[in-house]
Amino acid sequence: MKIKTKAYAKINLILDITAKRTDGFHELFTVMQSVSAHDVITVEKKKGQGIYITCNEPDIPTDERNIVHKCAKAFFKENKISRYGVHIDINKQIPHAAGLAGGSADGAATLVSLNELYKTGLSLDELCNIGEKIGADIPFCIKGGTLLCQGKGEILSKMKPLRKCFIVLAKPDVTVNTGLAYKQFDENGKVRTPDNFGMLCAVQNRDLALIASKLDNVFEQFIEVPQRVDIKSAMYAHNALGACMSGSGPTVFGIFENKSDAEKCKAELDTFVKDVLVCTPVSTGCKIFSKTE
């Protein structure tokens, strides 16, 4: 059997760091939203023993360093499956190292796909427990939708879904190392705290304009991203309700009520930004869409 799964990207409607933990991680307060931009993970059994990974993006490692490999290995260990041969193909569409959880989404989709392929019957919570050990964003990427994420990101609370809208993602041709970004926070702290309570109220009231006005990301206070000002200016010029950086960057997203405004914004951004996508909110983190024998 061959399983194909969409691995959806995420954005952070708000992202605050509230403390550094004794284990070296950081306490987060973030509302994450799954969006329709996605990679496709194809999983099938193969003869022989081991985990074989292929990817359409040559810069992505296909050995033990890949989060997909780590998730697959953890899945087999958790289910006490000692003999396995599996081929996992990653078709990347989500920009790499972009603050959109592309790698975590791929890992999440791998766990969901393997659970189906091997008929292990694990619940989403059980899959999250496996994924949490590999990456803090994986539990969100398994469940997805609109969730408040706390702790390292693994404590998930369901929120009301984002209203229909259009989201423009714009990733400049730079990368931001997440570990170094957190190190900068440890060295610099933050100037101000995002309006976390205001965002919770806005999301629960499904007030799109108010949500857009509350968009905030503590990383923007100390992470410098070339073109961020120009990207936001272009978004607001095309009637974006709000714009913000996602994760530790460098991707900037804008929320639009109208598809035509979003597409016009994309056309302008395409003239000076490497990766630009128009997407919509989705209600799940990953979705199996094909099963073939």
Catalytic residue among 4, 10, 143, 232: 10
Q: What is the pTM of this model?
A: 0.96
* pLDDT, the chain, mean: 96
Between 31-35, 155-159, 178-182, 192-196, the lowest mean confidence (pLDDT) is in: 178-182
pLDDT in tens, 211-231: 999 999 999 998 889 899 999
Catalytic residue among 137, 216, 261, 275: 137
Residue 20: is its pLDDT beyond 90? no
Residue 15: is its pLDDT beyond 90? yes
For residue 137, indicate whether it is catalytic: yes
Residue 293: is its pLDDT beyond 90? no
Residue 266: is its pLDDT beyond 90? yes
Q: What is the DSSP string of the chain?
A: -EEEEEEEEEEEEEEEEEEE-TTS-EEEEEEEEEEEEEEEEEEEE-SSSEEEEEES-TTS--STTSHHHHHHHHHHHHTT--S-EEEEEEE--SPTTSSS-HHHHHHHHHHHHHHHHTT----HHHHHHHHHTT-TTHHHHHH-SEEEEEETTTEEEE-PPPPS-EEEEEE-S----HHHHHHHHHHH--SS---HHHHHHHHHTT-HHHHHHH-EEGGGGT---TTHHHHHHHHHHTT-SEEEE-TTSS-EEEEES-HHHHHHHHHHHTTT-SEEEEE-B-S-SEEEEEEE-
Q: Which residue has the higher pLDDT, 24 or 58?
A: 58
Domains and their CATH numbers in the chain: 2-160 (3.30.230.10), 166-279 (3.30.70.890)
Overall average pLDDT of the 250-278 stretch: 98
Residue 260: is its pLDDT beyond 90? yes
pLDDT in tens, 169-202: 999 999 888 888 888 888 888 989 999 999 999 9
pLDDT in tens, 53-102: 999 999 999 999 999 999 999 999 999 999 999 999 999 999 988 999 99
Residue 24: is its pLDDT beyond 90? no
